[in-house]
Amino acid sequence: MVSIAVEEGAARVAGASAEEVALLEGMLEIDSLSGQERPLAEFLCAAMEARGMRAHIDAVGNAVGEMGTDGPLAVLLGHMDTAPGHVPVRREGDLLYGRGSVDAKGPLAAFVCAAARLGAHAGLRLAVIGAVEEESASSCGARHATTTHWPDYCIIGEPSRWDRVTLGYKGRLLVDYRMQQGTVHSAAAHPTAAQRAVEFWNEVAALTRQYGGSREFERLSPTLRSIHAESDGLCDSAHLSLSLRLPPGCDTRELRVRLRALAPDAEVHFAGDEPAHRAPKNTPLVRSFLSAIRARGGTPAFALKTGTSDMNIVGPVWNCPIAAYGPGDSSLDHTPDEHLSLAEYGDAIAVLQATLAGLTAGS
């Protein structure tokens, strides 16, 4: 494995150049919550242009960089937005801390670097897309990309560790419960609005246990995202929001009916309804990934994720060989300890470069 000095006197980072590390650090220094990605999009477009790509910001705010003029099209779709919360950008040895270092500026930076290393490779067109609003229910960046690009291959930028390839994500259904009733004395037998909200959550949890298989990817999994109750002395109200992670084949039309039946006196609304998506293993893209990981000295493995990603949006539309890949430990997503190993970042760049080159060799 080649080691390149980051700067004189600085730690040496295996596989990643000083310029490649600086790109990621620059991205982390720019806050980019959903709906506030424009400064990062401008930074990314300038970075991609400096690396020989044709770059622009599209109609919804995605940063798009393209390279090559002939051959099949590979779309490398990452996202620019991050979860809320400030994690100071800093280095601690090999580790680079910052909000988005794992989810998912690290994978997106690796896309840009791998494309730059590959260059205008004969027989392959590349489109690197930094999408907006992946962390929100709208996913408008990915949805817009399905109307502007029609790839032969797609790689989604999400953390998988450098030696694993993600083949699937569970689906998602967001549920919003609201109810109001006349204020009830605490000594009365009638349940308060807060109690009724808790009862609804307990009934939802019991309902989800009726859906499921032997593995987590096959189960319907509920998460209570927030709960709030208040009273003005005349009216009690309660608001509860939850997320359901959907297994493959889950019929959300039936599920919605059953959920509303649990709360006949409340308002129940739904959003973010995305089906699960699972890609096949035996595709030229996956085979090229496996070959590239082995060539780097790794033992490749597959992952199925319990969250969602833009794969859920674009996979069913593009219907092409697809996989998710990127450096980082996904258990650090959205946490105050979010950080990325720079050695792993370098490994991922090399694997991506070899994977893309392998597509032109008919792997």
Q: What sign results for the dihedral spanned by CA atoms 62, 63, 68, 74? A: negative
To 10 degrees, the CA torsion angle through 155, 123, 343, 292? 80
Q: Is 90 exceeded by the pLDDT of residue 4?
A: no
Does 20 qualify as catalytic in the annotation?
Answer: no
Of residues 103, 134, 135, 333, which has the active-site annotation?
A: 134
Does 134 qualify as catalytic in the annotation?
Answer: yes
- Specify the pLDDT at position 36: 97
- Specify the pLDDT at position 5: 34
Sketch out the chain's domains with CATH numbers: 3-169+276-360 (3.40.630.10), 171-274 (3.30.70.360)
- Specify the pLDDT at position 137: 82
Please classify residue 7 by burial: count the beta carbons closer than 10 Å to its beta carbon, then call 0-12 exposed, 13-18 middle and 19+ buried.
Answer: exposed
> Does an H or E element contain 246, and which?
strand 235-246
For 8-59, what is each residue's pLDDT tens digit? 333 334 589 999 999 999 999 999 999 999 999 999 999 999 999 999 999 9
Provide the β-strand partners of residue 173.
Answer: 244
Its pTM stands at 0.91
In three state form, how does the secondary structure of 262-310 look? CCCCCEEEEEEEECCEECCCCCHHHHHHHHHHHHCCCCCEEEEECCCCC
Of residues 37, 58, 66, 81, which has the active-site annotation?
A: 81
Q: How far is CA 195 from CA 152, 205, 214, 265, 335, in A?
A: 52, 15, 32, 14, 30
To 10 degrees, the CA torsion angle through 28, 34, 38, 41? 50
For 93-117, what is each residue's pLDDT tens digit? 999 999 999 999 999 999 999 999 9
Query: Span 274-300, mean pLDDT?
Result: 97
